Amino acid sequence: MKFSVGGMSCASCASNVDKTVRSLKNVEDCSVNLLTGMLIISGNPDENEVINAVQKLGFTINRVSETNSENSSNNVETRDKVSKKNTDTSPYSKDVVVLIKRLVFSFIFWVPLMYYSMVHMLFNLSLGSFFQNNPIAVGLLQCILCLMIIIINKEVITHGVSAVFRRIPNMDTLVALGVITSFVYSLCMLFSMTAVPEEQRMHIMMNNLYFEGSGTILLLISIGRLLDAVSKGKTTSALNDLKKLYSQTVTIIQNGDEKTISISSAKVGDMFIVRPGESIPLDGVIMSGSAAVNEASLTGESVPKDKKEGDEIYQGTILVDGCIVCQATKIGSDTALAKIINMVENASSTSIPIAKTVDKVARVFIPSVIIIAFITFIGQMILNASLSYAIVRAVSVLVVSCPCALGLATPLAIMVSTGRAAKKGILFKNAAVIENACKVKTIVLDKTGTITKGEMIVSDILPYNSEEYNDFVKYAYSLEYNSKHPISVAIVNKFKQLDVKTVGVSDFYTLAGKGVAGFINNEEIVAGNVEFISEKISVPAYIMTEAQKLKNEGKTVVMFAYKKAYFGMIALYDEIRSESIKAIENLKKMGIKIVMLTGDNEQAAARIASITKVDKTISQLLPHQKAEIVKSLAKEGPVMMVGDGINDAVALESATIGVAIKSGSSLAVNSSDVVLMNSSLMSLEQLISISRRTLRRIKQNLFWAFLYNIICIPLAAGIFAPVVALSPELSALGMGLSSVIVSLNSLR
């Protein structure tokens, strides 16, 4: 269950929403993201109860439709409209426009306010004939100018005050208390000027009016929030770039004519055409033509892939060269691009375990600051400080505190990392994976389809009689042509390259788990594993020795019998991915132990292990045995399991972090925590690296946020005066810059 929450301004706001929602019936867990304003709830709570509870806190809340394969066509259209909206402008760009307007108008009134309060005295400038020697008029003008700035920034004041009445004070509360306190005190002093002799009025105006302080605080808050909004917008740039990949139209072919329609009107089965330079609008299958397609937006690989008839194409990828006619297979929320965006949004909106500590601090932070400000005021008065000085110190404490930096420390870094990881073809399903990946000391790799390509390649063609080579390859090709088994497909592909011709095969049949058979020229021909063929016919001893030698090299041997006599054999092997060796080497340098699991025989496993230099190999495993081994390794510390097949699903579920290769089965992908879109083990190194850098940034952000408050609050309180003490204006500037520093650090 997903909701969009509006009006949260700091970590305290997010923490209060989290605490309130968790207390509701049937809520198993929830995550509140200050950056995205997203509330994600697991469990089955009453939707109206959630909405009412959050609204009572003073926030706006709306249910967000969660896209899935069962969405109606209306939801598909909604997704398309949302994508268009996000393409045109991001919510942060709208915030920036509002904040710029607010800042400009505030600045227009702030300039004369500063002139009539301070600048004219510093540079001995004229106030004009009316204001000269008229301190009450000058004070009244300052009051009006300050009041205009307060009205322009009334949102901060109203939010802060309303939060007090709801007993959930937030960052706006601190600012509002500081502004209102200094404004009301100055207003009282302005009224007092009317009851004192003229010679005292100038003294009061110069030393007891702080209208410029209230105005400057709000101006600096506006500057800080503008910079903050700009930096937040940058953190979501990767996600926005993904959303911009949506094409708004598709050129379909109906009755031989081309027609451009909105993608929201497209249907599964529609034929559409794509030309060079165009973005592919829907997932589909190429029906005619060939092309080079840049799939970097989905996989992170910049080299275009050659596509031909029968190949799949994906929404958001770019047709570099060629022209293709395709049939739509997936639309709307079912497309690969939509699922990627949904996954990135979900990961960006969830929180990580370290954030729980921040939430606990945030719940007591603002009440603690208000108490500290009150103690500061009382303390200064006890120390015989003037009333105005005590108020200045209390206001400085209120304004300098920055819970916003605490609240943004985690989500900003998560948003950046998940977005940029997606650009590299690494999809996190939830943010907790990022923190857990840092702790991984063991990575378990499935062999077939993960370390290797999962595609058999013919290495040896060995007819019994070299003079019968042509007949052997011709008959073997013809027999295997009728089978769809991976071994048969590999043999067929090899003989196609050799331009071998086929002959007629009759009465073809499959021998489950053993091989295939049929008749050529009314004579039976059988292909199968060594054990099966050696039981069926007499195989010379030296042939069996040669077959065993090939098997010891990790190869798969297929024997052929024709006319009830040994005919020859073909050896195949599963090719190692070109990048696997380097990837494993790099992971080991990062201090990670690599374990390879496989259902293959010991010889095949040993061959791959010797080449890749994995730390440990376990072979001849059944799916449930893989899971048991993963669970056993997990007792020693966090384990990452990487696989691609159906038989890896249980092991992926058993691991601390399950990583699925996108080229693998849908079950493996669904059972995983991370999906590698480009099917490369080099992405594992990037995954671990991104995880470690992200957690480092989060810790740096939190360190800065805590350190800033620990240092600046005592300075603002005047503990180190007269050596150094922060004024309200400097406090406001520091508070704004604190959030900006956290944002910029996250962008690194």
Catalytic residue check, 446: yes
Exposure string of 235-259, with b = 16+ CB inside 10 Å and e = fewer, is bbbbbbebbebbbeebebbeeeeee
| The one-letter amino acid at 661 | I
42: CB partners within 8 A, 6+ apart: 1, 27, 28, 29, 30
Which residues pair with residue 511 across a beta bridge? Answer: 515
Cα–Cα distance list, 361 to 365, 378, 403, 741 (Å) = 6, 25, 9, 20
Burial of 597 (0-12, 13-18, 19+ CB in 10 A): buried
- 430: which residues sit within 8 A by CB, 6+ positions away? 346, 347, 350, 673
Of 18, 270, 446, 574, catalytic? 446
Q: Hey, is 73 helix, strand or coil?
A: helix
Amino acid residing at 352: I
Retrieve residue 27's tokens: 């809520």
- Strands, DSSP E only, in 70-191? none
Report whether 233 contacts 90 (CB < 8 A).
Answer: yes
How far is residue 192's CA from residue 174's CA, in Å, rounded to a whole number?
27
Q: Return the closest-CA partner of residue 219 out of 130, 113, 64.
A: 113
- Residue 264 is encoded by which pair of tokens? 């929201």
Structure tokens at 114: 């500063």
Half-sphere exposure of 301 (CA within 13 A, CB side): 14
Residues annotated as catalytic are 446
